Amino acid sequence: MVVLSVLRAQLGMPPRRYLDLLRVLTERYVKVRYRGSFLGVYWSLLNPCIMTAIYTLILGHTFARYYNNSIVDYLESCFVGLVVINFFSTSTGHALPSVVSNSGLLNKIKLPPSLFPMSLMSASTFQLAVGVFPVLAIITLVTSKSLLNVLLLVVPVFALVLVSCGTALIVSMLYVFFRDIPYMYELLTFAFWVATPVFYPISIVDERYRFYLQLNPLTPIIQCIRELTLSARLPNLEIMAQGLLMGIFVALFGWFAFRNRSALFMDYL
Amino acid sequence: MLRKELDPLVIPTNGSPAPKREALVRPSICLRGVTLLRRTQEELTYDLKRNLFALVEGRYRRPASKPVLRNINLEVPPGEKVGVIGANGAGKSTLLKMICGILRPSKGTVEVRGSIAPLIELGAGFDPELSVFDNVILYGILLGSSKASMLERAPGILAFAELESYASMPVKTLSSGMTARLGFAIASDVDPDVLILDEVLSIGDEHFRNKCRRRLEHFWHKDATIITVSHDLAFIRESCTRVVCMEEGRLAFEGPTAAAIRFYLDTVSEADSLHRGE
């Protein structure tokens, strides 16, 4: 009961109604993105595949010694990293203009503004669940031969969704006030791309700075998924918990930052 | 306790069916001391870069807020048809947005009893890529219905808009007149306790206009409370039992239709003669 009333106060409406709205908008975004062709979901795999090929061609030979002298291991771990960073940057990039681009609706119908970034995030999550996730699960099954690892894969992926949701809420809120945010956000996602051990092993970074990379919420997520997909042993639970906690923190921070500013939105839309 | 603070401006209307019961019936819409301050858009800098530079150079100041609605007290008994008139920018549409809950008052309270539906122009808001049917479901749910009831009502809505044969086509293939018809059909397929009308919509060809008119008249005969904004004084005179006249965010006059319209026309001609005097 208490949980329900807290939820109701946070959402500004009965949770049931919020979910109804979320579902219908998610369906809309999914339908528009794929225009009826289910194969469209798999198109989203093309980007990380091509990028993996490029990185492997150029850096694979040099970095292989950090990956048990195996180019295949480098390729797999590069793919995992790219899938994660790719989801993060495209899903938040889609959500960034969502509050502003629906200002017409917000001015006509009483709707919670958080609905738009949240429904875009859930459309992206749907895409992740049917496109990339099965691929990761297959890789895990083949390399680690452990069903437990496949099941545990849900945890870091959930953490990734949380981090992205929090970030999506923050950037879509900032965009209401500052319309030049996209340029800066582009720079920021590039910084993330490089400051996350996506295409290089974390061990080549000077130990003094490795701590800062560990503060990046995507780092433990990528490390955790790599451990699960690439090795048969049970993953480092500490890293898994770290990723999950960071995810929860970013999501809550994003939600409250958004709520805190949303009373001012209508003056700017 | 709150009852005592009611504004004396609220007077029963002559000729309305409600006045005798008014003491017993709780108002359908009740605004108490509603003031709205807004940051006006022309003063805002939508730019992080410029805001930062201003901050560094010490020129930064908080965007000022201006009152858009000032201390509005309004009580509408159930079933009353209220017209809102006034010059452009007097705050009429803002008042309606306030009643709909789109804007929240900076001071004061807004209470609406029962379900509320805005009859708004949806035409521009459709998703052009989605099919006509999907748009009907989407907007029905955004306007407050459940998915189950929308699936039930969709055929009726399409029939009213005379677009049954377009159900699976994307909205971008419709003509602008058809889109407007669809918008009206969705927005007007409601049965609310309170209906909000911002300018009566007249769309489509003569045939469809008559249909719109009939549907609107249907609302008038039911006991829904209606609040409508219009510049069409003949329409207001004909269809409202009480009229509110707004001026620069205030309720300048509130009372029987004829008196309110006279008041409004007087202020307009006063302003006109002032202009001519210059």
Q: Which residue in B has a C-alpha nearest to residue A107's C-alpha?
A: B102
Q: How confident is the model at residue B21 (pLDDT cuts 50, 70, 90)?
A: very low
Closest in B48, B141, B142 to A180, CB measured: B48
Q: Which residue in B has a C-alpha nearest to residue A177's C-alpha?
A: B46
pLDDT for B142 beyond 60:
yes
Domains in chain A: boundaries: 40-268
- Is the model more confident about A126 or about B4? A126
Kindly determine whether residue A28 and residue B130, on different chains, have CB atoms separated by under 8 Å: yes
Q: Which residue in B has a C-alpha nearest to residue A30's C-alpha?
A: B130
pLDDT for B16 beyond 70:
no
Q: What is the pLDDT of residues A182-201, one digit of tens each?
A: 988 999 999 888 888 888 88
Q: Between A and B, how many residue pairs show a Cβ–Cβ distance under 8 A? A: 73
Q: Please classify residue B93 by burial: count the beta carbons closer than 10 Å to its beta carbon, then call 0-12 exposed, 13-18 middle and 19+ buried.
A: middle
**How many CB atoms lie under 10 A from the CB of residue A28?**
19
CA atoms of B86 and B248, how far apart (whole Å): 9
CA atoms of B177 and B207, how far apart (whole Å): 12
CA atoms of B123 and B23, how far apart (whole Å): 41
Query: Superfamily assignment of B11-40+68-115+230-277 in CATH?
Result: P-loop containing nucleotide triphosphate hydrolases (3.40.50.300)
The alpha carbon torsion through A10, B121, B240, B259 (nearest 10 deg) reads 90
Kindly determine whether residue B97 and residue A107, on different chains, have CB atoms separated by under 8 Å: yes
Q: What is the pLDDT of residues A36-94, one digit of tens each?
A: 666 777 877 888 899 999 999 998 888 888 888 888 888 888 999 999 999 999 999 99
Going by C-beta distance under 8 Å and a sequence separation of 6 or more, which residues neighbour residue B54?
B45, B60
Mutate one of B43, B48, B139 to test the A interface: name it (highest A CB count within 10 A): B48
CA atoms of A8 and A14, how far apart (whole Å): 5
Which pLDDT does position A8 carry in this prediction?
Answer: 85
Q: How confident is the model at residue B40 (pLDDT cuts 50, 70, 90)?
A: confident
Domains in chain B: boundaries: 11-40+68-115+230-277, 121-191
Nearest-CA distance from A256 to chain B in Å? 19
CB B123 within 8 A of CB B180: yes
Contacts B38 to A, Cβ<8 Å: 266-267
Task: Please name the amino acid found at residue B160.
Answer: F
Which pLDDT does position A23 carry in this prediction?
Answer: 93
Q: How confident is the model at residue B2 (pLDDT cuts 50, 70, 90)?
A: very low
Q: Which residue in A has a C-alpha nearest to residue B99's C-alpha?
A: A110
**B245 CB-side CA count, 13 A:** 19
The mean predicted confidence, pLDDT, of chain B is: 80
DSSP letter string over A114-170? THHHHHHHHHHHHHIIIIIHHHHHHHHHHHH--HHHHHHTHHHHHHHHHHHHHHHHH
Residues of B with CB under 8 A from a CB of A: 38-39, 41, 44, 46-49, 51, 97, 100-104, 118, 120, 122, 124-125, 127, 129-130, 134, 137-138, 141-143, 146-147
Which pLDDT does position B17 carry in this prediction?
Answer: 45
**How many CB atoms lie under 10 A from the CB of residue A229?**
24
Which pLDDT does position B14 carry in this prediction?
Answer: 43
Which pLDDT does position B277 carry in this prediction?
Answer: 62
Q: What is the pLDDT of residues B217-249, one digit of tens each?
A: 888 888 888 898 888 888 888 888 899 988 888
pTM: 0.86
Contacts B48 to A, Cβ<8 Å: 174, 177-178, 180-181, 184
DSSP helix/strand/coil, A96 = coil
Which pLDDT does position B199 carry in this prediction?
Answer: 73
What ipTM was assigned to the predicted interfaces of this complex? 0.82
Contacts B123 to A, Cβ<8 Å: none
Q: Which residue in B has a C-alpha nearest to residue A112's C-alpha?
A: B102
Which pLDDT does position B15 carry in this prediction?
Answer: 41
pLDDT for B205 beyond 60:
yes
Closest in A108, A178, A263 to B47, CB measured: A178
Kindly determine whether residue A109 and residue B124, on different chains, have CB atoms separated by under 8 Å: no
Look at A49-53, B117-121, B184-188 and tell me which has the smallest mean pLDDT. Answer: B117-121
Q: What is the pLDDT of residues A89-146, one digit of tens each?
A: 999 999 999 999 998 888 888 889 999 999 999 999 999 998 899 999 998 888 888 8
Which pLDDT does position A255 carry in this prediction?
Answer: 95
Contacts B47 to A, Cβ<8 Å: 178-180
Contacts A106 to B, Cβ<8 Å: 102
Q: What is the pLDDT of residues A222-255, one digit of tens each?
A: 989 988 888 777 778 888 999 999 999 999 999 9
Kindly determine whether residue B39 and residue A268, on different chains, have CB atoms separated by under 8 Å: yes
pLDDT for B12 beyond 50:
no
pLDDT for B192 beyond 60:
yes
CA distances from A92 to A95, A162, A182, A244, B189 (A): 5, 11, 11, 19, 36
Which pLDDT does position B123 carry in this prediction?
Answer: 63
Mutate one of A19, A24, A261 to test the B interface: name it (highest B CB count within 10 A): A24
Q: What is the arithmetic mean of pLDDT over B198-207? A: 73
What six digits make up the tokens of B205? 């060809």
Closest in B46, B51, B125 to A104, CB measured: B125
Q: What is the pLDDT of residues B75-115, one digit of tens each?
A: 888 888 898 988 888 888 888 889 888 888 888 888 888 88
